Structure 1
Amino acid sequence: MLSVLTIGLTCGIAAPAHAKATADLVTTTGRAGKTVALTFDDGPDPDNTPALLEVLHKYQVKAVFCLVGDQARNHPDLVRRIVLHGHTLCNHSMHHDDLGDWSAADIRADLLEASKAIREAVPGARIPYFRAPYGSWGQSPQVAADLGMQPLGWTVEVADWEQPGTSELVRRLNEQLTPGAVVLLHDGIGDRSQTVQAVDQVIPRWQAQDWIFTRPARPVQPSMIVLRLG
């Protein structure tokens, strides 16, 4: 007679399912080898975001867009374009405030409002990540996790808000790139044309060097498979 035994595995026999979000900051792709994830904060912006989307489309690269609720509400068409291009959404707070010393209740209200603003443009949109403005986390990681969003950090940050010049941004990106890196860049709140131009230069170079563009890691729960034993 055959018996059925169900066990949990973390290997790649079956496609893993995403587990509940945790309060741990994700700062890597979670994949071995030459992998990198591009993330863009503070948009959507009517000038920079369309230009960036064209660059990413040209090279068939997907990224994470960390959206500010105010910006999403002002530019719902751009939120829809981001989703239609196959990119991943991230909640970046409602007004881009420093949440570092806020109460958990106030943070929760802010994040819920920001997610609502995003979903006004794209009803039912999946928002798997949250990133705190200024990297000032306070109690927000646990609040975000309770709302189903994984706190998203970074490993590469090139201070593109300084507008040091496209060539300098390219140099910084090449210098800091490491396997599994999550790259922090910006497409909103100011002139980000240098960032767009830098991305247009580094993507083909990294692709030629066999780098794979992917998304930041998410917690994974063991896959459940059934073994039939004689």
Structure 2
Amino acid sequence: MQKDQFLTRRRMLLAGAAALGAAGSAGVVLAGGAEESAPHAPAPLSGPQARQALKSSAFRLQPLTDDGPPRAAPRRLKVRTEPILRISGRGRHMMLTFDDGPNPDYTPHILDTLAKYDVRAMFFLCGECVVENKKLVARMADEGHVVGNHTWTHPLLTTLDRREIHDEMKSTSDAIEESYGERPQWFRAPYGAWNRAAFQLGAEMGMEPMAWTVDTTDWMTPGTSTIIDRVESGAAPGVVVLSHDAGGDRSQTVHAIREWLPHLIDSGYHMTVPPRRL
């Protein structure tokens, strides 16, 4: 697809998401797992170009295994009306998140950098990528990262009916569980475009909705220096940083994190992830 066509389609999708009701504000998740209210702030629409949603009949939604014990029903959560945008707690804590992966060309390099500095992050994965890269998903979990659900095909949820949204979310949770043995406890809507069904279904599946505070705009491939500047200028206690490890050429993201991560650590920031619910 030519660049001008890519940008035109992206603008149309983002405009549609805004018109159909992306979330406007959010709560705060505490480092210890509790919650408190937060000042209203717009939930940004962002991310790489969507992969066109397939018809439900074309999804790879069948159970990944036909044998073995049945899955335990997830603990249902309170239904939110807004996604979580920030974290809170004492000290200079931030949270790093990566969307759209895993991707064998970029995700391993990001994991290597995180391991080098002993940092944990959240990875919101697309199911169609999970089934092709199960070892990477297992590596994420083994190294202490939090794995979240980012739908199967990265569609604009506000254009889907409830059944289609359910299939996108459930099939991805099934694939993640098949990869490392646990179902995800967090969900992020593609483009930050939330609707009532996404909040309700996520809660039914035991997943809290997570958005972000700082967008690196790496999905625009603006240049490594621009990505570094956006992270460093946006750094502040409680922010959630959005980056991507798939969905396009993410070499700039790979190079940028090698620069901004040690800088933030040297500046006194601590990278955290939400606590695991038992």
Hey, what does 1:105 align to over in structure 2? 163
Distance 1:66 1:115 in 2: 11
* Alpha-carbon offset, residue 215 of structure 1: 1.8
**Alignment of 1:132 onto 2:189:** yes
How many residues are paired up? 204
Structure number with higher relative contact order (C-alpha < 8 Å, ≥ 6 residues apart): 1
Does the CA contact (< 8 Å) of 1:30 and 1:216 recur in 2? no
Moved more, 186-195 or 49-58: 186-195
Which deviations, in whole Å up to 9, do the C-alpha atoms of 1:8-67 show, x marking residues without a partner? xxxxxxx87899354231111222331100000000000100000000000000000000
Which deviations, in whole Å up to 9, do the C-alpha atoms of 1:119-164 show, x marking residues without a partner? 22112x1411100111111231221112110001000002101111
- Given the alignment, which residue of 58, 62, 81 partners 2:139? 81
Runs of 4 or more consecutive aligned structure 1 residues displaced over 3 Å after TM superposition:
15-22, 216-219
Q: Amino acid of the residue matched to residue 100 of structure 2?
A: D
For normalisation by structure 2, the TM-score amounts to 0.69
For normalisation by structure 1, the TM-score amounts to 0.82
**Alignment of 1:169 onto 2:227:** yes
Distance 2:202 2:271 in 1: 25
Matches within 5 A, 1:1-230: 20=77, 22-23=79-80, 24-123=82-181, 125-138=182-195, 139-216=197-274
Does the CA contact (< 8 Å) of 2:33 and 2:275 recur in 1? no
Q: Amino acid of the residue matched to residue 166 of structure 1?
A: T
Paired-residue identity, %? 38
Does the CA contact (< 8 Å) of 2:174 and 2:183 recur in 1? no
* Alpha-carbon offset, residue 117 of structure 1: 1.3
Q: Amino acid of the residue matched to residue 161 of structure 1?
A: W
Does the CA contact (< 8 Å) of 1:39 and 1:184 recur in 2? yes
Distance 1:45 1:33 in 2: 33
* Alpha-carbon offset, residue 80 of structure 1: 0.9
User: If each structure's strand is expressed as a fraction of its own residues, which one has the higher value?
Assistant: 1
Root mean square deviation of aligned Cα: 2.1
Distance 1:127 1:185 in 2: 19
Q: Gaps spanning 5+ residues in structure 2: where?
A: 1-31, 36-74
> Based on CA coordinates, which of the two structures has the bigger radius of gyration?
1
Q: Amino acid of the residue matched to residue 205 of structure 1?
A: H
